[in-house]
Chain A
Amino acid sequence: MSAKVEHHPETLIQGNPKFSSVTQHISQIVEDKTKMGWILLFGLSASILMMLLGAVGYLLFEGIGIWGNNQPVSWAFDIVNFVFWVGIGHAGTLISAILFLFRQKWRTSINRFAEAMTIFAVICALLFPSIHVGRAWLLYWVMPLPNQMAMWPNFRSPLLWDMFAVGTYFTCSLLFWYVGLIPDLATLRDRATTKIRKIAYGIFALGWHGGNTQWKHYELAYLILAGISTPLVLSVHSIVSTDFATSVLPGWHTTIFPPYFVAGAIFSGFAMVMTLALIARKIYKLENYITLNHLEKMNKIMLVTGMMVGYSYGCEFFVAWYSSNPYEQFAFINRAFGPYWWAYWTMITCNVVVPQLFWSKKLRTNLAVMFVVSILINVGMWFERFVILLTLTRDFLPSSWGWYWPTIWDGMTMVGSFGLFFTLFLLFLRFLPMISMAEVKNVLPQADPHYHVADDHNADKSVKPHPKPGIEPGTAMGGAGL
């Protein structure tokens, strides 16, 4: 039945599973007894989350003064972590939306948890500006609501753009993720054996019955969601970059910021997907679904975006020199050789030098190497935002130069945000199918209605003729892409 398929190099799912074994394998992760490893990791992340709650609680009680922020560095870890987490989210949307539009079918194995990662990363990101406003309970003032002050938000402010961009991004990602989950929730509902599971999954599956009359609207809605999420990949981080770029500070006031931020976001996001994928793959034995092929493709994307980021670093120096603006030039020389030189060179090492390893096929298909590199990239991307922030320490007037160092509360909030992220992520792994079963089944060769090609007289003319039996039309075109 599948002899020909196994020979095809672009087979997306290895081990030639049947539909039912896909269901079985992935649902089992949710249905089995909780693994010890999960409990340990969850305990750890939940404890870190508690630390975050403590730090935020104390912040709300005491005020922003507990952080290291002060003039001239008036925003610090909060904006660094905000940009870091929003950036992480971008890979999820890229995988779920852009790769979907480009019919990159290899995305099916990783899109579900990449999207989950997006949502949780955006939650972490939204935390920081929300608590940095000082009086977090008045946060609703950023929304244009009628009020007794006759006031409206200032639509010309990049910080308000941020609120709209990130809020939209979160909502769209959540809807996209949930719509994708509906058929799989129906699978879990139909397999459920306990009353609670039946009811819980039953409610969230909304009564899905998988009829083609439903799939028809579902597929179009999913396509539209992918289509409208696509520009968000580019717009959200562009808007985030305008927080910096619209200010008139040397080193910030530059038009390269939006593309530079977007490339960096995708770069760090893929690194985070990689870290998570490698761990999940190992713990839940998903080697057949997240194959080396997937990982290698992600590594290639990281190599490309890493080079784009490296190019931006170089370009900034060139523009500073070419502008003949002494302040601009000083800002960059100060970054590389000033008091925070170590942050700069950590960034360069992790973001530009380390990814070069992926030129070698041997290294980019080595699990240990890619795990270490993915973590280093995230460290580097965090430092990138930190380096950008530190521009504030030295601006035009030497008399107003300052120094920035975080306090223990800054550190606890930052580390705590990882606790929030991993707690949510572990809950997701435990209670929701981490790989989209419906989509994986759809890329199996036997899902093609022309799999038995002998009598496909009614086939859609546009997808005929097939070069070889058993190959999804999209696979041949899409799989070779990256």
Chain B
Amino acid sequence: MTVVANSIKAVIAEFDTPADLMHAAERVRDGGFLKFDCHSPFPIHGMDKAMGLKRSPVGYIVGAAALCGFIGISGFIYWVSAVDYPMVISGKPFFSFQAFVPVAFAVTVLTSAITATFSMLAINKLPQLFHPLFESKNFRRFSDDGFFVSIDAKDPKFDAVRTGEFLKSIGGKNIEVIEVKE
């Protein structure tokens, strides 16, 4: 398509243990890199701090969605029961809110659960079946017992050669430059 056959997307380096990965993350962070990631088979406690990441916004999103869900369903039940089709049932008032609690609660929970799942996926840009890092065969061990640091080529400080050397200097092994055919 273009003149460039391959374009460099990232550099990755492997580390042995969660502790090594965490220390590497701190070094990369202190090295001034902004677009990097630490891949591990399980979440590592304290890694957010080591990478200098802010707290995830998922909580606020879910909170807002839960509020909307609750107000929405409560308003809907009120409208149905007291406005659109008021029916006298067991002599209760039209807006007998005590009886509406279970449904309002269930729908609030449902909204929150769906929002939590899908906002998490959306923020993580999932589903994304093709990812440059999957070019590396070795990288596939991230889901088994491999611990990797990847530095994105979009990082302002990125330079394929020097970044690789930097990762080596902080103890990284199997340094790989990730290229994707354009």
Residues of A within 8 A of B (CB): 18-20, 23, 144, 150-152, 154-156, 158, 160-161, 164-165, 167-168, 171-172, 175-176, 178-179, 182-183, 186-187, 189-191, 202-203, 206-221, 224-225, 228-229, 231-232, 235, 239, 242, 437-439, 441-442, 446-452, 456, 458-460, 463
Contact = CB atoms under 8 A, between A and B. Distances in A.
Nearest to A451: B19
A187 B143 contact: yes
Nearest to B62: A224
Contacts of A164: 102-103, 106-107
B76 interface: yes
Contact of B48 (A178, A216, A242): A216
Nearest to B63: A224
B102 A207 contact: no
A100 to B, nearest CB: 13
B102 A441 contact: no
Q: Which 5 A-B pairs have the closest CB atoms?
A: A221-B120, A211-B37, A19-B145, A206-B127, A187-B143
A186 B129 CA distance: 11
A442 B43 contact: yes
Interface stretch (B108-116, B154-162, B169-177): B108-116
Contacts of B19: 449-452, 456
A190 B49 CA distance: 28
Contacts of A224: 58-59, 62, 112, 116
A230 to B, nearest CB: 10
B8 interface: no
Contacts of B109: 168, 172, 228-229, 231-232
Residue among B50, B100, B106 with the highest chain A CB neighbour number at 10 A: B106
User: What secondary structure prevails in chain A residues at the interface with B?
Assistant: helix
B117 A206 contact: no
Given A156-B96, A207-B129, A212-B39, A186 B143 contact: yes
A210 B39 contact: yes
B19 to A, nearest CB: 5
Given A187-B144, A213-B37, 18 more contacts: A19-B41, A20-B145, A156-B89, A156-B100, A171-B110, A190-B140, A191-B143, A209-B133, A210-B142, A212-B39, A212-B44, A213-B124, A215-B40, A216-B53, A217-B124, A449-B19, A449-B44, A458-B50
A212 B51 contact: yes
User: What secondary structure prevails in chain B residues at the interface with A?
Assistant: helix
A389 to B, nearest CB: 22
A396 B19 CA distance: 71
B181 interface: no
A441 B42 contact: yes
Given A152-B84, A452-B17, A458-B50, A203 B116 contact: no
Contacts, number: 225
Contact of A168 (B59, B110, B128): B110
Given A172-B113, A215-B43, A225-B117, A458 B80 contact: no
A182 B143 CA distance: 11
Contacts of A456: 19
Contacts of B150: 211
A322 to B, nearest CB: 26
A235 to B, nearest CB: 6
B123 to A, nearest CB: 5
Nearest to B79: A152
20 contacts: A152-B85, A161-B102, A168-B110, A190-B140, A190-B141, A212-B44, A216-B53, A217-B123, A218-B124, A224-B116, A229-B109, A231-B105, A441-B41, A446-B17, A449-B19, A449-B21, A452-B19, A458-B50, A459-B46, A463-B46
A215 B18 CA distance: 14
Given A144-B76, A438-B42, A175 B113 contact: yes
A175 B120 contact: no
Nearest to A203: B129
A216 B56 contact: yes
Contacts of A214: 124, 126
